A and B are shown apart, each in its own frame.
Chain A
Amino acid sequence: MSDSLSLDPTVVAVILAMATVTYATKASGLWAVGRIDLSERMEAGIDVLPGAVIVSFVAPALANGGVPEWVAAAATLATARKTGNLLASLAVGVGVVLAFRNVL
């Protein structure tokens, strides 16, 4: 993986496995409806998953962080809610964390 133009066989295999499960989710919805009846409750549970994965990823990182990370996280969320622009919220988050680390 050190060469920036290389294709590592293991990496390719993992990527293709990711591609396979992703395509399976996209195609199975088309195939399965009418054959499998999901309750509204189950659908709501599935719908929650992507957000819950992201939260699960971020929560320990923030719990292990300090005041600069917490303030930056709040600023990032506020910018994301207001603008919906990734590059803007990214810039605000990184800017705030840098400012706090260097000032305090």
Chain B
Amino acid sequence: MRSTRKRSVGAVPEGDASAEHRDAAETAPTDADPEAQSVTFTTAGFRQGFLAGVPVALGVAGYGVVFGVVASRAGLSVPEAALMSATVLAGAAQLVAVELWANPIPAVAIVTTTAVVNLRYVLMGAALRPWFRQLTPGQAYSSVFFFADENWALTMASFRNGDTRGAFLLGSGVVLWLLWIAATVVGATAGDLVGDPAQYGLDFAVTAIFLTLAAGFWQGRESLRPWIAAAAVAVAANALVPGQWYIIGGALAGAAVEIATHEPEDPTEVTAGE
């Protein structure tokens, strides 16, 4: 469940009559107006979303296997790892969480870190609203459980091209969810069979996984300042503060630097920094 490169959440519609704000990145060639369309919620839409989600879900399944192995190495049983994949459905957050796993479980650190990693979903959920406000609350709020980075991007691209299939997100999400759980079970089962990880260089595997995730979240030069701040604070906090708080400390430092130095895309907005 990697980040979708260049997600352009800055172009989230604000409020109701905001089609002009959705200048939308590369996913929005036509930028259809959701208000002018009637969004449906049909079995056909679900099925089409399901089929469109298959290739994406197969790609995500590779991460699921890796997550299962890491979870198993961290001490989670196969049903526990599967339960996490079935109920949380957020790849990066799950990988970070199982890396924090210890005995006793640092529950507060794990849940807090999960929330921090997943805060971006607030913005992504907001982007769905122009279309989802036409659905019943039951349809909309059950659908959002099934969104992850990949099928959200797929659905948004589809909506912005004038799609009115409100069940598309649910369909693409369900196939992703099913493969994510299945891949987790495969990985967790295999992880039980692996011997001493350091012997095969597998102690480096988690670092390699996170570096790959980082490459997915990289948004070009604008990521540089927040990432340097995050790295510096994390290294310092890791040396000075006991426990796993260096992760949240580094992440918040990165966000603070971004908030302080962000250069608005809108040229009429005055820049405070620099």
Instruction: Report A's interface with B, CB cutoff 8 A.
Output: 1, 3-8, 10-19, 21-23, 25-30, 32-34, 37-38, 40-63, 69, 72-73, 76-77, 80-81, 84-87, 89-90, 92-95, 97-98, 101
B79 touches A7 (CB 8 A): yes
Interface centre among B76, B230, B254, B269 (most CB of A within 10 A): B230
A18 touches B254 (CB 8 A): no
Give chain B nearest CB distance to A55 CB in angstroms.
Answer: 5
B178 at the interface (CB under 8 A from A): no
Interface centre among A51, A63, A80 (most CB of B within 10 A): A51
B118 touches A21 (CB 8 A): yes
Residues on A with C-beta less than 8 A from B103 are 1
A30 touches B218 (CB 8 A): no
Query: Given A26-B147, A45-B255, A59-B234: A33 and B90 within 8 A (CB)?
Result: no
Give the residue of A14, A27, A60, A89 whose beta carbon is less than 8 angstroms from that of B110. Answer: A14
Within 8 A of A (CB), among B209-256: 209-219, 223, 226-227, 229-235, 238-239, 246-256
Residues on A with C-beta less than 8 A from B147 are 26
Residues on B with C-beta less than 8 A from A17 are 107, 111
B259 at the interface (CB under 8 A from A): yes
B215 touches A77 (CB 8 A): yes
Query: Given A53-B247, A57-B210, A93-B205: A25 and B216 within 8 A (CB)?
Result: no
- B14 closest partner in A (C-beta): A37
Query: Given A29-B122, A52-B227, A56-B246: A11 and B105 within 8 A (CB)?
Result: yes
B80 touches A12 (CB 8 A): yes
A48 touches B209 (CB 8 A): no
B15 touches A8 (CB 8 A): no
B115 at the interface (CB under 8 A from A): yes
Give chain B nearest CB distance to A65 CB in angstroms.
Answer: 8
Give chain A nearest CB distance to B132 CB in angstroms.
Answer: 6
Give chain A nearest CB distance to B63 CB in angstroms.
Answer: 6
Query: Given A56-B249, A93-B204, A93-B207: A51 and B214 within 8 A (CB)?
Result: yes
Give the residue of B92, B204, B211, B215 whose beta carbon is less than 8 angstroms from that of A50. Answer: B92
Give the residue of A7, A48, A62 whose beta carbon is less than 8 angstroms from that of B255. Answer: A48
B66 at the interface (CB under 8 A from A): yes
B145 at the interface (CB under 8 A from A): yes
A90 touches B111 (CB 8 A): no
B78 touches A5 (CB 8 A): yes
B29 at the interface (CB under 8 A from A): no
B84 touches A97 (CB 8 A): no
1/0 contact trace for B120-159 toward A, CB 8 Å? 1111111111001000000011001101000000000000
